Structure 1
Amino acid sequence: MIPAATALPALSGAGQAPCHHGEILQGVFLDAAGRRCAALVTLPMAGPGSSAVFVRRPGTEPEALTVAPADRTKAARAAVLAVAECARRTGQPPCGGELRLTGEIPVGLGMGSSSSDVIAAVRAVADSYGLRLEPSTVAGLAVRAELASDPLMLGGRPVLFAQREGRVLEVLGPALPPLVVVGCALGGGKPVDTLSLPVTEVGDGDVRAYERLRALLRRAVATGSAELVGAVATASARRGQRVLCHPEFESLTALAHRTGAVGVQIAHSGAVAGVLFDPAAPGLRRRVRGCLRALDAHGIPATRTFTTCATTPEEIPHHGPAHRGVDRPAGPDTPRRPARLPAL
């Protein structure tokens, strides 16, 4: 290690990443070679996200890397991996540094909080090297750091993403049809321990059913049909019930039907859920108000009502000074909350 008196100057970089609102579709699908792959399609949501700053200390040992808050161990692993990748690309020796994360994504609701931290950390490290890593590289590093990653590095396009392999099985189209989402938290917003969930056997019939939903979602995107998106999301959520067993599920689907929603979506690894409306349907405000009253009547806490919008990877903030003013930064040093989403 270089003595402090002759240490090289520190170099810093910044990175950001969004979150999502759970999945529209998740299951087991066939890739181009006919091999089974666990994969998912997430529902994009603007707003909460993770921000990272990485201060690189050239001349220090790679193991001398700290993270704050200290419990963000996945992000720390991602930073170490990103340093090795960026050092290799620039011909510099790997070094240590300090990673600092801030954000306002609740933990345990299935909104991709850990993936957001990991991706923001990778982007901050790359920015400290003056690099912008391609999404496929970011995806690979994210999977190595946390074993499975959400596709937050790919922007808002609807993609079928193999979360344990970090690769896209299919780009379903340029953007989801516009939706109005009335968000809520099931189970009182209690975090879900995904590692404790039972593992279910997936048979050939299950794979065929998932492939039918995949084709239906592809058609929904091609035709701009919010109704078809709702049908896919509801069917996927119903299949997820075999593992998650949310007691409010039947009430949620019933109130969605009564208020004229096109369907419901539920995070397959958390408690966040959404009632989906077609913004072009008549009486939208009345329907949304009725949905909020019905959620309250059933004791299901409403969280955030938002609309989806067409975004492309180029419009998603990535990292560094070139993107300042484009993204919506997370609150300063906001601790991770175990439950509610910030309301609009």
Structure 2
Amino acid sequence: MNPGATDAPGTGRAPCHHGEILQGVFLDAAGRRCAGLVTLPMAGPGSSAAYVRRPGTPPEALTVVPADRTKAARAAALTVAECARRTGRPPCGGELRLTGGIPVGLGMGSSSSDVIAAVRAVADSYGLRLDPSTVAALAVRAELASDPLMLGSRPVLFAQREGRVLEVLGPALPPLVVVGCALGGGAPVDTLALPVADVADVDRSDVRAYERLRALLRRAVATGSAELLGAVATASARRGQEVLGHPEFDTLAALAHRSGAVGVQIAHSGAVAGVLFDQAAPGLRRRVRGCLRALSAHGIPATRTFTTGTTPAKEIPHHGPAHRGVDRPAGPDTPRRPARLPAL
């Protein structure tokens, strides 16, 4: 085939998340320590990818638009090699185009979403649909650690540096209403500057504490207890402050308590946070409105309010410009910009 010829494009998509419910160091089935996390799923923004193969061109002739998505480009190259091996076709170059509206630097999995969408688009261009474990392995090779966005919305404890599930906690989280906000004024967090602890150096008492939180979260999912989930998320968020040190965290936890929330959660590698409410709580609308007013009074920008749990996740729109500009889609030829998150 002529080097200039192209095949039909493949497409792929991946969601984002709203930070973590639990993150720490856990024991796998063999008793080995692993860094692990449980993310909070969120419907709405995500990454979409389109990949066009160019048979006859060298595999290194792979371009990505926007050009700054280097992790997605790495993922695409790795997936080309994997798909070529599976189909018996020679690897070739191509063009990857990414679009999406995930804010960068808030800990919502923007890079993982790009990477997984890219893997799925390349596989689709070869007529393949890769299983989640293969997608996870490719994602970890591309970005060293990956969020479990390839696994759907069921709650899992995921070893992000190894790309494997440590435990499936159950079919769905307890039903929650999440009032999202951004700490630090919504300024992006440089995740590469955050210290990465060696799991071998984590104190044994800390590992026991993480395992206790894991057991409590397992019980929360099994019993549908939003209150127990909130307690786990808050405890994990407090531990996260040892690294992140958000000055507003204590204020956020206090206003959540006053609003009748079950707890708070944060992104352990970003600025996004959430106030968690039990969907079955009496006077829920009043509680949520009170929380939004309190966030505004303390200068903490509210972003979006959404539900999660046994019913399909959906966004609850704010009245007024609460999250105007938060999910502005990035154009295919424009580098993704940090989100602007004005207060209510």
TM norm structure 2: 0.91
Match runs of 1:50-69 below 5 Å? 50-69=47-66
Q: 1:139 to 1:342 in 2, by over 3 A?
A: farther
Identity of aligned residues (%): 86
2:181 to 177, 180, 184: 184
Shift in Å, 1:197: 2.0
Q: Which residue of 2 aligns with 1:153?
A: 150
Q: Which secondary structure does the structure 2 equivalent of 1:54 belong to?
A: strand
Q: 1:335 to 1:48 in 2, by over 3 A?
A: farther
Q: Which residue of 2 aligns with 1:321?
A: none
Match runs of 1:36-47 below 5 Å? 36-47=33-44
Q: Which residue of 2 aligns with 1:142?
A: 139
Contact 1:105 1:341 in 2 (8 A): no
Contact 1:105 1:337 in 2 (8 A): no
Q: 1:74 to 1:307 in 2, by over 3 A?
A: same
Counterpart residue identity of residue 302, structure 1? A
Shift in Å, 1:199: 4.4
Contact 1:265 1:273 in 2 (8 A): yes
Query: Residue by residue, what CA displacement relative to the aligned partner does 1:135-188 show, whole Å, maximum 9, x if unpaired?
Result: 000000000000000000000010000000000000000010110000000000
Contact 1:49 1:105 in 2 (8 A): yes
Shift in Å, 1:12: 1.1
Counterpart residue identity of residue 260, structure 1? G
Q: Which residue of 2 aligns with 1:217?
A: 217
Q: CA RMSD in A?
A: 1.9
Q: Which secondary structure does the structure 2 equivalent of 1:82 belong to?
A: helix
Cα distance in 1 for residues equivalent to 2:247 and 2:342: 24
Q: Which residue of 2 aligns with 1:267?
A: 267
Contact 1:157 1:311 in 2 (8 A): no
Check if 1:33 corresponds to 2:26. Answer: no
Query: Residue by residue, what CA displacement relative to the aligned partner does 1:191-222 show, whole Å, maximum 9, x if unpaired?
Result: 11122223455100000000000000000000
- RCO greater where, 1 or 2, for CA within 8 Å and sep 6 or more? 1
Cα distance in 2 for residues equivalent to 1:91 and 1:237: 48
Shift in Å, 1:336: 2.3
Q: 1:101 to 1:338 in 2, by over 3 A?
A: same
Q: Which secondary structure does the structure 1 equivalent of 2:9 belong to?
A: strand
Contact 2:186 2:341 in 1 (8 A): no
Q: Which residue of 1 aligns with 2:46?
A: 49
Contact 1:21 1:42 in 2 (8 A): yes
Counterpart residue identity of residue 227, structure 2? E
Q: Which residue of 1 aligns with 2:161?
A: 164
Counterpart residue identity of residue 192, structure 1? V
Q: Which residue of 2 aligns with 1:10?
A: 7
Match runs of 1:291-310 below 5 Å? 291-310=291-310
Q: Which secondary structure does the structure 1 equivalent of 2:25 belong to?
A: strand
Q: 1:226 to 1:140 in 2, by over 3 A?
A: same
Q: Which residue of 2 aligns with 1:20?
A: 17
Gaps of 5+ in 1: 313-329
Q: 1:8 to 1:68 in 2, by over 3 A?
A: closer
Cα distance in 2 for residues equivalent to 1:269 and 1:331: 22
Cα distance in 1 for residues equivalent to 2:72 and 2:146: 12
Cα distance in 2 for residues equivalent to 1:112 and 1:291: 25
Q: Which runs of 4+ in 1 moved over 3 A?
A: 198-201, 309-312, 330-335, 340-343
Q: Which residue of 2 aligns with 1:327?
A: none
Q: Which residue of 1 aligns with 2:246?
A: 246
Q: Which residue of 2 aligns with 1:326?
A: none
Q: Which residue of 2 aligns with 1:320?
A: none
Count of aligned pairs between the two proteins: 324
TM norm structure 1: 0.91
1:116 to 105, 113, 116: 113
Contact 1:156 1:311 in 2 (8 A): no
Q: 1:215 to 1:206 in 2, by over 3 A?
A: same
Q: Which residue of 1 aligns with 2:88?
A: 91
